[in-house]
Amino acid sequence: MIKKYIVDTTLRDGEQSPGIAFTVREKVTIAKSLDALGVTRIEAGTPAIGKEECRAFEKIKLACQNAQIIGWNRMNRSDISQSIACGADIIHVCVPASDLLIREKLRQSRSQVLETLSTCAAAIHTAKRELTIGLEDASRADWDFVIQLIETARDLGATTLRFSDTVGIMSPSFCKATISQIPANIDIEVHMHNDLGMAVANSIQGLRSGAKYADSTLFGIGERAGNCNLEHLLIATQGQLDFGISLDELQWRQADLKSIIYKNELLYA
């Protein structure tokens, strides 16, 4: 079986699902369970949110034995400083890649994006932390700019490039064609949303096309229709891909965590 790795984002993208909210203690409980399960990387949250989130990071760092802990950041020096301060192993920088996001949300230009990214990377290297870069809305971005961002990421010393289908519009064949075209000199991570019900299929195609990591969440929670559901991904790839995670163990651990994740039963319905 081909060896692949899971980046769990239940505590970051998953928690952004409307109505889902964890206390520090709940975050630590979930992280410990993911660590015991064999998840390689845990995206534990966004330290820039505030002190509570930073406190959760510190406790998660102490509680996890094996998993690397990722701090998620906007492309912003102040956010990054907080991630560094709370001890995250990996500092992830999210870079809007589509012209739509650059123009409408950031109100910047492509060249400004590249410039800011370089500044952020320098701060992370100065703090001697691992840098990973995520291309937000990459599936709707201009391919030439995606390639430019990938080359920049590699030149800036990023170890992993996250390709995000932020609004979940990819088809498996489009995903396959896209991920196959990414140069092999950087580790690829696929981050798929489930808006068309294709997050699992797209993650499989991404992994089969060269990605080393797939992002997922418990119960598939996340913005709108959610992220790639870890349990579903394991079911669909049984005997084909080896994530080093037992499906049985995931199922009982997930059942144990259900009351924490869904405090309100109506959300689970």
Partner 1 sequence: MVTIIDRTLTSFDTAGMSTRDLNHFCDLLFSCGVTKIELTPDLLARLGFPSSAASLRKWLGGRSFFLTRIFPISLDSSGMTKPQPLWKLEPNDLVEKNIPVSKLKSALYPHQKIRITGLEDLMNRDYPTIFKALLGSGAQTLDLCPSNHHHCAAAIALEWLLAGGTSISCAFANHHNLAPLEEVLMSLKLHQPDAFSGDLSVLSELRGLYEKCSGQPVAKMKAIIGADIFKVESGIHVDGVLKNPHTYEPFNPQTVGNQREIVLGKHSGRKSLLYKLNDPGLSESTAHSILKQIKSRCTQLGRNLSDLELQTLASEVQNDKKIYC
- Residue placing its CB nearer to partner 1 in the complex, 166 or 186: 166
- Residue placing its CB nearer to partner 1 in the complex, 186 or 193: 193
Cα–Cα distance, 50 to 52 (Å, whole number): 6
Answer for the pair 98, 138: CB distance below 8 angstroms, yes or no: yes
- Residue placing its CB nearer to partner 1 in the complex, 51 or 157: 51
Answer for the pair 36, 71: CB distance below 8 angstroms, yes or no: no
Residue 120 beta carbon to partner 1: minimum distance, rounded to whole angstroms: 16
- According to DSSP, the β-strands at 90-96 and 130-136 are parallel
Residue 176 beta carbon to partner 1: minimum distance, rounded to whole angstroms: 9
- Residue placing its CB nearer to partner 1 in the complex, 8 or 79: 79
Residue 233 beta carbon to partner 1: minimum distance, rounded to whole angstroms: 8
Answer for the pair 241, 213: CB distance below 8 angstroms, yes or no: no
Answer for the pair 76, 112: CB distance below 8 angstroms, yes or no: no
Question: What's the Cα-to-Cα distance from 81 to each of 32, 68, 78, 138, 149, rounded to whole Å?
Answer: 25, 18, 5, 25, 22
Answer for the pair 96, 136: CB distance below 8 angstroms, yes or no: yes
- Residue placing its CB nearer to partner 1 in the complex, 113 or 186: 113
Helix, strand, or coil (residue 189):
strand
Residue 185 beta carbon to partner 1: minimum distance, rounded to whole angstroms: 27
Helix, strand, or coil (residue 227):
strand
- Residue placing its CB nearer to partner 1 in the complex, 128 or 239: 239
Residue 183 beta carbon to partner 1: minimum distance, rounded to whole angstroms: 24
* Amino acid (one-letter) located at 205: Q
Residue 1 beta carbon to partner 1: minimum distance, rounded to whole angstroms: 11
Residues that bind partner 1 (CB under 8 A): 15-23, 49, 74, 100-101, 104-105, 137, 166-169, 171-173, 194-198, 200-202, 204-205, 208, 220-221, 223-226, 229, 232, 235-237, 240, 262-264, 266-269
- Taken as a whole, the chain contains a residue count of 269
